[in-house]
Amino acid sequence: MYNKRVVIAIGGNSLTPTDKTNWMESQFKNTRTSIDSIITLIEKGYSVVISHGNGPQVGVALRRVEETRDILPEIPLGILVAETEGSMGYMIEQSLQNELFDKGIKIPVTTILTQVLVDKDDEALLDPTKYIGSFYTEEEANELARTNGWKVKKDGDRGYRRVVGSPKPLAIINKPTLRKLVDSGIIVIAGGGGGIPVYLDENKHFNGLDAVIDKDRASALIGNVINADELYILTAVEKVCLNFGKPDQVEIDHMTADQADQYLNEGHFPYGSMGPKMKSAIEFLKGGGKRVIITAIDKLVEAVEGKNGTSITN
């Protein structure tokens, strides 16, 4: 019997290469470092599903397409989401397999290319807000927008980035397979980059859509689908804060779902930072989850033990 069934959502920036001269080797190195806390939970008997962001990676893939559009076939965003879900899933999967082997833990690991149902008429597709890719100066961003047909917005104090549509995830198409794998005790990597957005056409057939689903909202949905006890959202900060970055900043150790909703409505958690994470936490708890933890990736074990991070419960 497993201790707890959990979904762990790793931020894409945690897996992003820090050495730009050796993109893939650096990405593998960061992936191996990122799984240390996850291995500890597996050793404690947790049943684990892992999701991950892909904003920086899919942004690079898009830039590659745009730079070569005159000599190579153009690849749509939906396909690039699938490609990065596969490549990043492979890196996480292999890193886990090697570490588990070294520790003598015989648990299979697999990656699912996860299709996620969305509404093709979702209003979010008309007003793109999901940041992807690299940071640019205002001048660089405006030039890229003009030459490539992008929409760009300022992302905090870090600069300007491309934005694309981010529709609400409605259902996990791979639900039966995902449940069977998890119930069989397999570690599953699913919903990478929020999953591949698809919609139903007039013939009830699935079709791809050029958009990016928020990985935390997809992770919350996956958690409810597999009846997970807890959802762990890993980000760049150890705790959620009110008045973040201001002189009266306050760290929060625990809040209820109702308090989270109140703070969200009061504007404490902007869309470009903590907002989607808080919305995901609320959705997971309303869907039957018991606890959400938001913390930094290297503080996960401490947070699970109640010694760090922010816990959100009903």
Sketch out the chain's domains with CATH numbers.
Answer: 5-118+171-313 (3.40.1160.10)
Give the span between the Cα atoms of 305 and 218, in whole angstroms: 25
Query: Given a cut of 90, is residue 187 above it in pLDDT?
Result: yes
CB count in 10 Å sphere of residue 25 = 11
Instruction: Just list the catalytic residues.
Output: 12-13, 130, 215, 277
Burial environment of residue 75 by CB neighbours within 10 A (0 to 12, 13 to 18, 19 or more):
middle
H or E, element range at 136:
strand 130-136
Structure confidence at residue 272 (pLDDT): 67
Q: Check pLDDT > 90 for residue 19.
A: no
Q: Give 312's pLDDT tier (boundaries 50, 70, 90).
A: very high
Per-residue model confidence (pLDDT) at position 59:
84
The Cα 171–Cα 108 span in angstroms is 26
Percentage of residues in the chain having pLDDT higher than 90: 69
State the pTM of this model: 0.91
Query: Quick one: pLDDT at residue 74?
Result: 86
Tokens 């919350």 belong to which residue?
220
pLDDT value of residue 2: 60
Here the tokens at position 124 are 């979010």
pLDDT at 69: 82
When mean pLDDT is compared across 41-55, 57-71, 112-126, the lowest value belongs to 57-71
C-alpha to C-alpha distance for 19 and 204, rounded to whole angstroms: 45
Compute the residue count for the chain: 314
Instruction: Report which of 265, 197, 280, 195 is spatially closest to residue 235, judged by C-alpha positions.
Output: 280
Nearest to 82 by CA among 109, 61, 96: 61
Torsion angle, alpha carbons of 293, 88, 15, 60, to 10: -120
Give the sign of the dihedral formed by CA 255, CA 299, CA 158, CA 62: negative
252 SS3 class:
strand
SS3 of 35, please? coil
Q: In the predicted model, is pLDDT for residue 1 greater than 80?
A: no
